[in-house]
Amino acid sequence: NNVLKLNDGELYVQAFADDLALIIGGRTARVLEANTNLALASIARSLDSLKLDLSVQKCQAVVYRSVASQKLSKRNSTVLNRKPTFKIYNTSIRVTDSLTILGIIIDNKLTWSEHINSLHDRMLILTSNFNRILKTEWSVNKDLIKTWYLTTIEKALLYGASVWGGALTKNQITRLHSIQRIFLLKLTRGYRTTSTNVLNVLTGLPPLHITAESEYIKFQVWVRRSNQYNFITDNIQLDSNILIKNIPSEVKYIAPPPLIPDAVCEVYTDGSRMEEKTGFAVCILQNNQNIQNHLYKLKSYNSVFQAELTAIRYAANWAVSNNYKINIHTDSLSSIMALKSAGSKSKIVNSVKHDLHLANGLVGLSWVKAHAGIEGNELADQCAKQAIISGEELDIPAPRSYLNRKLKTYILNTWNTYWNTYDSASGVRARSFIKAVSPKFLIHNKVLIYFLSGHGPFPHYLHRFKRIGSPLCVCGLVGDADHYTFDCSLTKEYHLVKPADEHKAFWFRNLMSNPQAIGKMTQAFRISNELCDSLTRVGDN
């Protein structure tokens, strides 16, 4: 409508459902005030013409200075000395230090700190039922809870991270750690003093600030096409999305018939991917005789889905160039569904749809079941495998899944670096048993967490926090996790063989898969717990 046509460079209007956002600039506070009030007057006239009411009481404004403006300021101030006055329908709009729009809190300094702080309450709500679910060792499987976190909780916390996750301060990173810690403690049931970084490693969940940064990078690379992060994508050209409104309707909606009755040729297409290699084949049959085969090899980063689509496109273009009527048969149902979908935004998908539109009347497109003994399909399958080895090379952009894989590698490498520079006592101890982080790692038993972190029912640990008077065991030696696992005379029946320093990582991997050894450690720590209870009672008396 007319409201959305007001964008002119000085003013940007964005609508979502019944919300309307305006972005207006001005070189000075006075100019900003004038520009905004002119825009609001124009908005008011447009709304009146549409017979729409505006709730002025709900309107808010936030004012912030550009980086260049801050540098010109005498005090390098990020906010204006005087709040400007904005009016619509002769009613002043409230100017605030921050406002919430579509779930994102925008502050007047664009620091995003207020939004990040708000994530704490969101985490409490999302984990409110966890104490009941994770109450006992035999409750819901922890792998399922971890999946729940990755698919629900983390996604909710990282909403909008493509904007706020790029330049986090040290305080913001610490805040994100404390927010993620709420879930980590409930999942592991470890002691409250256990290090967040250690809990990240023991659960295989990357620190939240690293995943937030990856979301920011994904937006910069995929949407904004920034070259700043080419080192992540190895300078590989990526597929891109097309705005739905920019796709012609004749391309958006295509529905080639399954079969053309008077087709000259039956064409079978197939894509294949093996050992990080991708290719496709187009096999042309005439009167049940194989007359041509076209084999192409793609790059290692291309997906089999792309290969299937490109094979269909090649077949359609072959029909147009030869002016032949053909029936294309593919065993890729996902390709057919993508081509029929009006919501497909991929540039590659839409280029295939465009060529199918140009081949209108010449091409039929149908799905055939794979490995069902259909001669043409079996031939295409064999040729596609051969194309991986000897096909003609063809370059097409990498899919979005390639970027996702690269970002996973980036997260892992960044996390490993972060972990290896964490030099607290618990970090050094845990790192001696776990050399590298892994998203597949998850410790199910809290006893192993006590052992790795050193935070558990041990005199040495409890003495650090002033719970008992001495760090020594009753046998006279320092009562830490290693003492009760390997040395203490009170737990001699449950001792495990102490590994050499260079064998600790291998020893711990074996321990995780050895229920009998874990049982011994559990019994040893039960004795240490009883001992600590008795020492605590003595101290209280």
Per-residue model confidence as pLDDT tens digits over 372-429:
999 999 999 999 999 999 999 999 999 999 999 999 999 999 999 999 999 888 899 9
How do strand 91-92 and strand 94-96 relate by DSSP bridges? unpaired
Query: Who has greater pLDDT, 77 or 387?
Result: 387
Residues 290 and 351 in one domain: yes
Q: Is residue 426 part of a domain?
A: yes
Q: Does the pLDDT value for residue 73 go beyond 60?
A: no
Report how far residue 200's alpha carbon sits from residue 453's, in angstroms, rounded to the nearest whole number.
Answer: 12
Residues 409 and 434 in one domain: yes
DSSP strands (E only) in 203-358: 265-274, 277-286, 289-297, 326-330
393 bridge partner residues: 297
Q: Does the pLDDT value for residue 32 go beyond 60?
A: yes
Q: Find, among 89, 90, 91, 86, the residue nearest to 99 by Cα.
A: 86
How do strand 19-24 and strand 11-16 relate by DSSP bridges? antiparallel
Q: Does the pLDDT value for residue 77 go beyond 70?
A: no
Residues 149 and 209 in one domain: yes
Q: Is residue 449 part of a domain?
A: no
**pLDDT confidence tier of residue 72, bands split at 50, 70 and 90:** low
Q: Is residue 450 part of a domain?
A: no
Q: What is the pLDDT of residue 8?
A: 73
Q: Is residue 451 part of a domain?
A: no
Q: What is the pLDDT of residue 74?
A: 52
**pLDDT confidence tier of residue 367, bands split at 50, 70 and 90:** very high
Q: Does the pLDDT value for residue 221 go beyond 90?
A: yes
**pLDDT confidence tier of residue 147, bands split at 50, 70 and 90:** very high
Residues 179 and 231 in one domain: yes
Q: Is residue 259 part of a domain?
A: yes
Mean pLDDT, range 300-311, rounded to an integer: 97
Q: Is residue 326 part of a domain?
A: yes
Q: What percent of the chain has pLDDT over 70?
A: 95
Residues 501 and 520 in one domain: yes
Q: Does the pLDDT value for residue 87 go beyond 90?
A: yes
Residues 134 and 264 in one domain: no
Residues 357 and 498 in one domain: no
DSSP strands (E only) in 320-394: 326-330, 363-367, 392-393
Q: Is residue 47 part of a domain?
A: yes
Query: Who has greater pLDDT, 143 or 82?
Result: 143
Q: Is residue 158 part of a domain?
A: yes
Q: What is the pLDDT of residue 362?
A: 97
Q: What is the pLDDT of residue 71?
A: 58
The range of the structural domain enclosing residue 173 comes to 111-238+398-444
Residues 304 and 335 in one domain: yes
235: helix, strand or coil = coil
Report how far residue 424's alpha carbon sits from residue 196's, in angstroms, rounded to the nearest whole number.
Answer: 11
Handedness of CA 320, 321, 324, 327 (dihedral sign): negative
Residues 360 and 278 in one domain: yes
Q: Residue 82, CB half-sphere, CA atoms under 13 Å: how many?
A: 8
Mean pLDDT, range 479-497, rounded to an integer: 95
Q: What is the pLDDT of residue 536?
A: 79
Query: Who has greater pLDDT, 315 or 84?
Result: 315
Residues 50 and 137 in one domain: no
Domain boundary among 387, 414, 444: 444
How many domains in the chain?
4
Report how far residue 358's alpha carbon sits from residue 316's, in angstroms, rounded to the nearest whole number.
Answer: 9
Q: Does the pLDDT value for residue 137 go beyond 70?
A: no
Q: What is the pLDDT of residue 128?
A: 83
Average model confidence (pLDDT) across the chain: 92
Residues 421 and 290 in one domain: no
Q: Does the pLDDT value for residue 26 go beyond 90?
A: no
**pLDDT confidence tier of residue 239, bands split at 50, 70 and 90:** very high
**pLDDT confidence tier of residue 3, bands split at 50, 70 and 90:** confident
Residues 38 and 136 in one domain: no
**pLDDT confidence tier of residue 335, bands split at 50, 70 and 90:** very high
Domain boundary among 74, 107, 140: 107
